[in-house]
Chains A and B, each alone.
Chain A
Amino acid sequence: MAAENIFAHVKRALIAAVWLAFLTAPIMVIRVDTVEKTVTWRWMHLAYMAAGSFLLALVWYIMLERRDRGKANKDAEGNVKESALARGFADPKLVKPMLAFGFVAAVAFPWIFSMYQTNILVSALIYVVLGLGLNITVGLAGLLDLGYVAFYAVGAYTYALLNHHFDLGFWTVLPMGAIMGAFFGLLLGFPVLRLRGDYLAIVTLGFGQIIRLVLENWSDFSFGPSGIANIDRPGLFGIPYSVEQATTYIYYIMLGLVMLTIFVTARLKDSRIGRAWLALREDEIACQAMGIDNTRAKLMAFALGATLASLMGVVFAAKTTFVNPASFTFMESAMILAIVVLGGMGSVVGVILGAFLLMLLPEYMRAFSEYRMLLFGATMIVIMVFMPKGLVRAKRKIYKINAETAG
């Protein structure tokens, strides 16, 4: 059986390789030098092309079959087999030491690695929080928000403007940024209450663009495309510190905020509110017919997601000491959405992994410079084909039933 399959795969891979070699032959083989007026035939390239694509196709087909066989096994056994990754997160004996090690490593990080590495990690942590925030709106409540970066911009500009005009410090603006984020979340939430799915996506996309365009064009207010520079770094009880120390300081601030966000989202997920969001995502009509106030649930999801994004905006402004509208393009929204989808919608652990993967991968692939984005895209495709539910599949909590009352 297996041998037959292998044969079939080899055959299909061969066909794919020959076809691809044929299609790419003109550009891969023929080189015309217009100055010397010569034509070079590079037949070896054809062979490279065919061999490379043959190998890739073969691996692809075998992996696909393994995936399908895995699915079939699940159906037969009636229960879903989890990946080693998911099992690792579920085993309490492993979780505690892992968390402890992770915490120690996180605290020690800036003292072991360079400032450059710490800076990259701060960016990744910002995206962890952004991902977790969007996870509330998209992953839990099922409201597809393509303009999420707008709230990030709101936070960043709240700090930038208040600091520029009124000299307010980071710690003063942080709660104000959260309030501004919640306010803008509601502002967007109200008009889109009736929309869902694709329609909602388009309106939120528009909202994201509006915020960016306002920031770009209303120069009297936001200083236009040139942005706002010389924003103060976070204050440390008035103690002056160097740029290098600032990175470490912001890193610790972010570490705190990340832990706070994980705590908050994990608790919300398994609460009455979180269940209402899930119900809203699953079936809006049934959800309302079972007595859940859809309006409230939606506004809450928008406002909470926006609050987290806005908080991150404040940190971002303080970290870079400079903001301009170019940092808040649609690309950012798409990136954050990719983090949520790739990590696993609704799963806190998944989103954290997704954020690290998508943020750190492009950084460390700089060695491949020009192929960086190509590899990045390929990674995303591979993950989505082989793990369509994301890196970590969201699992529902098993509730403990009181034996006495249930008896």
Chain B
Amino acid sequence: MAQTDTAQAPDGAVLSVHNMSMNFGGLRALSEVDLEVRQGEVVALIGPNGAGKTTFFNCITGIYTPSEGDVFAYPRSGKKRRVNGMRTNLVCELGMARTFQNIRLFPSMTALENVMIGRHCRTKTGILGAILRGPGTRREEQMVVDSSYELLKKVGLEKMANEYSRNLPYGAQRRLEIARALATEPFLLLLDEPAAGMNPQETLELKEMVIRIREEFKVSVLLIEHDMKMVMSLSDRIYVMEYGRVISTGTPKEVGEDPQVIRAYLGEESDA
């Protein structure tokens, strides 16, 4: 079990969500959600299909603006920032990078270029710089290439650097998405069902990779996942959602024993 706490202050939060709700017209997709991710933690968000997990991700990454509540981020600079309704690219620039449930790579760009896109917000060549291609631009460009290649190596894709990303096998595409997210130098990595569609062996490798990445890049991880084995062994804390509400939180053990969670997953007991 990877529950051993990294030596952080108990309240070293990097993301805290208070009372967040999201309404689509009359539909309440999220209702008064509270959630906190602390420095160096791996936090899992689980729940049945349609519980609002991806909506939650979309709310904190600026794709949707939450109807109520607050989302605060504590980036590496140490300045508390309110994220509600911030533009998606600025959320990423702040240091919260995500992957997608249904892989969203740039299919006709090479694997290397996909990662290079992640470097975009940390570099600054403008139109003139690109046209003149002075020494500064060339140095920056080479740095982007080298650091992106370095990241590809971290996820074991260096041999496929010049392949079009649409030609990569499924598992490799998932890892490439993680590398792309890491390229933005995040303090919080948001993974939306990273193990979806993977076989047990690949899932195991993915788990080890997440642990390695957390140590090496000093990132916190918030992940949505359905693979219970992976969630239970990987996460420090778990939030369980059902019908847009958080119904239980705690360590994997606590959550596993919570009768409400068992009911949500296995259905109402007839004699209860």
A and B, one complex? Answer: yes
Listed in ascending order, the chain A residues whose CB lies under 8 Å from chain B are: 263-264, 267-268, 271-276, 278-279, 282-283, 285-294, 300, 304, 396, 398-402, 405-406
Query: Would B117 and A289 count as touching, CB distance under 8 A?
Result: no
Residue B120 contacts which of A263, A275, A398, A401 (CB distance < 8 angstroms)? A275
Hey, which chain B residues are within 8 Å of A290, CB to CB? 89, 92, 97, 117-118, 120-121, 180-181, 184
Q: How far is the CA of A70 from the CA of B100 in the complex (A)?
A: 35
Residues from chain B with a CB closer than 8 A to the CB of A286 are 100, 104-106
B110 A273 Cβ-Cβ under 8 A: no
CB pair B109–A272 under 8 Å, yes or no, is no
Distance, CA A282 to CA B144, complexed state (A): 20
A396 in contact with B113 (CB, 8 Å): yes
Q: Are B118 and A291 touching (Cβ within 8 A)?
A: yes
- Write out the residue numbers on chain A whose beta carbons fall within 8 Å of the beta carbon of B118: 290-291
Instruction: Name B106's contact: one of A282, A293, A402, A406 (CB within 8 Å).
Output: A282
User: Shortest Cβ distance from A349 into chain B, in angstroms?
Assistant: 17
Complex interface: chain A residues within 8 A of B122 (CB): 291
Neighbour of A268 across the interface among B121, B127, B150, B153, CB < 8 A: B127
Partner of B117, one of A271, A279, A285, A304: A279
Contact between chains at B108 and A396 (CB < 8 Å): yes
Most buried by B among A275, A290, A396, A406: A290
CA of A272 to CA of B140, assembled, Å: 10
The bracket for how many chain B residues form the interface is 35 or more
Q: Which of B130, B133, B141, B164 lies in contact with A396, CB distance below 8 A?
A: B164
Q: A396-B113, A406-B150 are in contact. Are A272 and B142 (CB under 8 A)?
A: no
Ordered by A's residue number, 22 sampled pairs between the chains whose C-beta atoms are within 8 Å are A268-B127, A271-B125, A271-B130, A274-B130, A278-B113, A279-B117, A287-B106, A288-B87, A289-B61, A289-B89, A290-B97, A291-B92, A291-B120, A291-B184, A300-B127, A396-B108, A398-B110, A398-B162, A399-B162, A400-B145, A401-B145, A401-B149
Q: How far is the CA of A227 from the CA of B9 in the complex (A)?
A: 76
Complex interface: chain B residues within 8 A of A267 (CB): 130-131, 133
Interchain CA distance A290-B62 in the complex, whole Å: 12
CB proximity to A under 8 Å, residues B116-160? 116-118, 120-123, 125-127, 129-131, 133, 137, 140-142, 144-146, 149-150, 153
- In the complex formed, the residue of A with least CB distance to B98 is A289
Are B109 and A396 in contact, with the CB atoms below 8 A?
yes
B→A interface (CB under 8 Å): 61, 63, 87-89, 92-93, 97-98, 100, 104-110, 112-113, 116-118, 120-123, 125-127, 129-131, 133, 137, 140-142, 144-146, 149-150, 153, 161-162, 164, 180-181, 184
B159 to chain A, nearest CB (A): 12
Contacts of B125 in A (CB 8 A): 271-273
- C-alpha spacing A402/B145, complex, angstroms: 8
Asked whether, in the complex, the Cβ of B146 is within 8 Å of the Cβ of A282, the reply is: no
In whole angstroms, how far apart are the Cα atoms of A398 and B107 in the complex? 16
Q: Which residues of B contact A268 (CB under 8 A)?
A: 127, 130-131
* A287 near B127: Cβ-Cβ < 8 Å: no
Q: From A263, A278, A279, A289, give the contact of B92 (CB < 8 A).
A: A289
Known: A286-B106, A289-B88, A291-B118. Contact between A272 and B130, CB under 8 A? yes
A396: chain B residues within 8 A (beta carbon): 108-110, 113, 164
> Are A288 and B106 in contact (CB-based, < 8 A)?
no
Considering only CB atoms, which chain B residue lies closest to A294 in the complex?
B89
Which chain A residue lies CB-closest to B116? A275
Select from chain B the residue with minimum beta-carbon distance to A263.
Answer: B131
Choose among A263, A289, A396, A401 the residue with the greatest number of B CB atoms under 10 Å from its CB.
Answer: A289
- Output the least CB separation between B223 and chain A (Å): 16
Question: B141 contacts which of A272, A287, A288, A406 (Cβ < 8 Å)?
Answer: A272
Given contact pairs A285-B104, A286-B105, A292 touches B130 in the complex (Cβ within 8 A): no
For the complex of A and B, the 4 pairs showing the least CB-CB separation, nearest first, are: A291-B121, A271-B130, A291-B92, A282-B106
Q: Which residue of chain B is the closest to A304 with respect to CB atoms?
A: B127
